Structure 1
Amino acid sequence: MTLAFLHPGGTGGADRPAPPRGAPDLTPPPSRGTPRTLLRRAGRAVRAVDDRTPAHRDRAIDGLRALALLAVPTGHWLVGGFTLDADGALHNASPLSTLGFFAPASWGLQLLGIFFLVGGYSAVLSHRRATERGDSTARWLSARLARLGRPVLAVTAVWALLIAVLTAAGVPEATLRTGATLVVQPLWFVGVYAGVTALTPYCVRAARRLGPWAAAPLFASVAVVDFLRYGPYAAAVPSWLALLNLLPGWLFAYQLGVCWGERRLGRRAAWALLTGGTALFAVLLLVFHYPASMVGVPGAERTNSHPPSLLVLALAAAQCGAAVLLRDRIAALLRRPALWAPVVVINLCAMTIFCWHQTAMLATAVPSTYAGPLPGLTTPPDSLAWLLTRLAWLPLFALTLVALGALTRRFEAPWGAGRALRAAAATLAAGFALFALGRG
């Protein structure tokens, strides 16, 4: 889905009124860098984005995607703590290990249910347009997977080069492995998303036949696996059985999105998802004692996210129901140009934000190791003071990501490089993967 029509262009502004005839012109010459001038230019750019948006554009869908996407770096930046050892090396540490009260924050930051919902909705429309153009499903799927794969290949290839440069600069190997782990950590999502995207035609058929009930078997499958691995016979169940939740767990919200795109998910079903998901979420927490955190906690015996547990699906159901019910209000809110323009920018840079946000945090943390432990950045995440200080670091992480994005967003577009350069990038990416897995 292209957003090329939203690229802001230059627009003219009103000239300053001329002074009365015969009076001296005491108006200072215009300055390119004054705050007022910058605000005017920003205002013109914002209005240009809004003016170039077609009337049929579904702003609510783009807004939901932007919200879910921003939750990823925000969540990782808040739970991605570090400790600094005596040799000046960085090690991963999570505040969730010591700050139990922080776990409920993950309920609002874990918005992958909304991301998959919007992904399914958008895939239906994209596939429909491709079919109307006469494109085959294979060609449509190839184009979507290429858009996912190019930024991933780029970030891993660049990191392979960075490891060599940083090693030569004397950065400890432990720090490099910490960085590699953080960079690879979110990339599993791309593989899962590619897998569910490949199932779009089958999801469409299921949606047309069963409506929202098409997601019920996926929900039931996860419930059965959870019962086996957490129930009375859990000791006899092999650990690999949990992997059976991987596909249905993330396909659940995607299937709901496909139903929404096929106009088979209405307000009545949305209310059922919201109320039922919320009630089940409370029961699983309070009665069946599921872990409160929606992300993995180091040292914990159970996790909700890898692979997804029934608690993740309950939260996703509630989020999806709320998204459908609030669609019109979100669309109305995003009619305001000042709110719509950031949504456009985020959507245009979606994969760049996703692939490079951990690098932005590391670009701040790694150089700081030479200054010793810095509160909220390289000190143990074991207190409320750490959390408050980490919040103060977030704007710097965001600004670093903006700077990185200006350099790396080009990787989202089709590469004009020859086969030799693409092969070199793939080789570097493979090398980085081996290093990140501890085999380098």
Structure 2
Amino acid sequence: MRRLRQLAERTPAGRERYVDLLRALAITMVVIGHWGVTVIGYDRAGRPTGHSALGDLPWAWPLTWVAQVMPVFFLVGGYANAASLTARRSRGGDATGWLVDRSARLARPTTALLVVLAVGAAVARLRGADATEIRTVVWFATIPLWFLVAYLIVVPLTPPMYALHRRFGLVVPLVLVGLVALGDLGRLLGPAGLAGGNYLFGWLAVHQLGFAWYDARSPDAPRRRRLPTSRRAGLALLAGGLVALVLLTVVGPYPVVMLNVPGERLDNAAPPSLALLAVATTQLGLVLLLRDPATRWLRRPGPWQAVIAVNAVVLTVFLWHLTAAVLLVGLLDALGALPTPPVGTATWWAWRVPWLLALAVVLTALVAVFGPIEARSRRHAPAAPTGGPAPPGPHGRGERAGAGGTGRLRTGLVVAGYAGVVAGLLLNSLTRKVAPEPLGLPAPALVAYLAGAGVLRLLRSGWGSRG
């Protein structure tokens, strides 16, 4: 508690605390949402299995317009990445150094999860567990990595995309929305492969709005680069997003639900669709409308300390929340006390509260063990303020002193490191959950990830920065 108080007292006056609150709320809602809609049962072989209740609760589909908060996560990510990159450059750093330091916050907690799962799978295999069953368990635990793949692609693209933002401003997300529309056209009329780019274009569009929100704090930034943040703008975005959402889903061809439901004609989130971008617009309007009262609330020590505490381990919470569910289901099954009431019954609804509380206890234990890995990453990295624009400073000194061949080599290694990490996570996500994988993760995926993470770790230690 004393450290939290110290961190709260040292918070710069210009920091946009609301951004930190939104990040914490977004991840918390993802966790509660996943836990809340989970249905536990038994397959024909008598093994525990799980699926989403959304397919059985169509009346709840409009609620996903609020519950699907990944757009908020990418919006906040854009703001924070613009702020930290600008601050880094103002201190004489460069984009390559920024990417190296940024990788620590993302790769260290993720590496911990994958290594623990792989070791646990190996132990289970040595004890005679079926390789297919091992893969199914690990597949479920690594579902959160789907979204991390997208974010790990967006982060290294931040320097060039922020350069585009500085030149073209809000035109960039508009172009990206147009590309999403083109991909949707391919999904609806063919060829379906045309929509593959939406995984990138959709999240990049929201990320770019985060840049514009950051620049809105600077009166010197050109108007084309600034996101309108007035109450009137918030109301316009909220109303416009809702109208577009209704037209696209109720009238148009898109499903109402914003999360995956088997059997629906489209998945609005994988890849992001125009309907999901309409949700993002609606949520952005709501975010702007709530900004002033939330900012006043965050000036109080208690709420701000709570936000700091959550953000210190926010990625750990996200990465381990489904592992917590796997562990709890396994424990209850072993004790013969696993409830499996039918979806929508009074018993199922009554079970939601103890289920969430029990999962919170398990996750708290996991965060206590693995959270320090993320917390240390944040303490050791250079400050990444989410406040106003950094003061002008030299661009290219310090870290760029080793420009030339060494600088190009270091940049190439950073790109290779991120590529390895993304390739490993993507390969794992694309591998079927019933594939016979003795380590739970495909061996090529694990090798690619560890190689990429290893390169980034070496770069953080200073390797490759000397001529």
Pairwise same-fold verdict (TM > 0.5): yes
Judge which range, 149-158 or 50-59, deviates more. Answer: 50-59
Which one-letter code corresponds to 1:244 in the other structure?
G
Judge which range, 81-90 or 247-256, deviates more. Answer: 81-90
Question: What runs of 5+ residues in structure 2 fail to find an aligned partner?
Answer: 217-225, 381-420, 438-467
Distance 1:99 1:402 in 2: 29
Which one-letter code corresponds to 1:401 in the other structure?
L
SS at match of 1:326: helix
Distance 1:411 1:48 in 2: 20
Q: Does 1:144 align with 2:93?
A: no
SS at match of 1:82: strand
Judge which range, 170-179 or 388-397, deviates more. Answer: 170-179
Deviations 1:336-382 (A, max 9, x none): 2232222111100011111111111111111111344633xx44535
Q: How much has 1:71 moved relative to structure 2?
A: 1.3
Compute the RMSD of aligned alpha carbons. 2.7
Which structure exhibits the higher relative contact order, with contacts defined as CA atoms closer than 8 Å and separated by 6 or more residues?
A: 2
Distance 2:152 2:352 in 1: 33
Report if aligned partners of 2:186, 2:192 keep a CA contact under 8 Å in 1. no
Which one-letter code corresponds to 2:365 in the other structure?
A
Distance 1:48 1:385 in 2: 46
Provide the residue aligned with 1:286 in structure 2. Answer: 250
TM-score (norm 1): 0.79
Report if aligned partners of 2:203, 2:272 keep a CA contact under 8 Å in 1. yes
Provide the residue aligned with 1:57 in structure 2. Answer: 15
Provide the residue aligned with 2:195 in structure 1. Answer: 242
Distance 1:274 1:58 in 2: 22
Work out which of the residue numbers 228, 233, 236 in structure 1 matches 2:186: 228
Report if aligned partners of 1:90, 1:175 keep a CA contact under 8 Å in 2. no
Distance 1:164 1:87 in 2: 23
Provide the residue aligned with 1:178 in structure 2. Answer: 136
Larger radius of gyration: 1
Work out which of the residue numbers 339, 354, 375 in structure 1 matches 2:303: 339
SS at match of 2:155: helix
Q: How much has 1:200 moved relative to structure 2?
A: 1.7
Q: How much has 1:85 moved relative to structure 2?
A: 2.9
Provide the residue aligned with 1:365 in structure 2. Answer: 329
Deviations 1:227-283 (A, max 9, x none): 3322xxx2xx23322212111111111100011111211225544432221110111
SS at match of 1:386: helix
Change (3 A) 1:283 1:357: same
Distance 1:395 1:406 in 2: 17
Q: How much has 1:205 moved relative to structure 2?
A: 2.9
Judge which range, 137-146 or 295-304, deviates more. Answer: 295-304
Work out which of the residue numbers 122, 147, 157 in structure 2 matches 1:189: 147
Judge which range, 312-321 or 142-151, deviates more. Answer: 142-151
* Alignment coverage as a number of residue pairs: 379
Judge which range, 161-170 or 123-132, deviates more. Answer: 161-170
Work out which of the residue numbers 156, 162, 174 in structure 2 matches 1:204: 162
Distance 2:100 2:212 in 1: 23
Change (3 A) 1:388 1:279: farther
Q: Does 1:316 align with 2:269?
A: no
Which one-letter code corresponds to 1:381 in the other structure?
V
Provide the residue aligned with 1:401 in structure 2. Answer: 363
Report if aligned partners of 2:202, 2:273 keep a CA contact under 8 Å in 1. yes
Q: How much has 1:133 moved relative to structure 2?
A: 1.5
Provide the residue aligned with 2:268 in structure 1. Answer: 304
SS at match of 2:144: helix
Distance 1:182 1:374 in 2: 18
How is 1:160-171 mapped onto 2 (pairs within 5 angstroms)?
160-168=118-126
Deviations 1:278-308 (A, max 9, x none): 1101111210142122111123332111111
Work out which of the residue numbers 288, 291, 305 in structure 2 matches 1:327: 291
Distance 2:436 2:43 in 1: 23
Distance 2:148 2:141 in 1: 13
TM-score (norm 2): 0.74
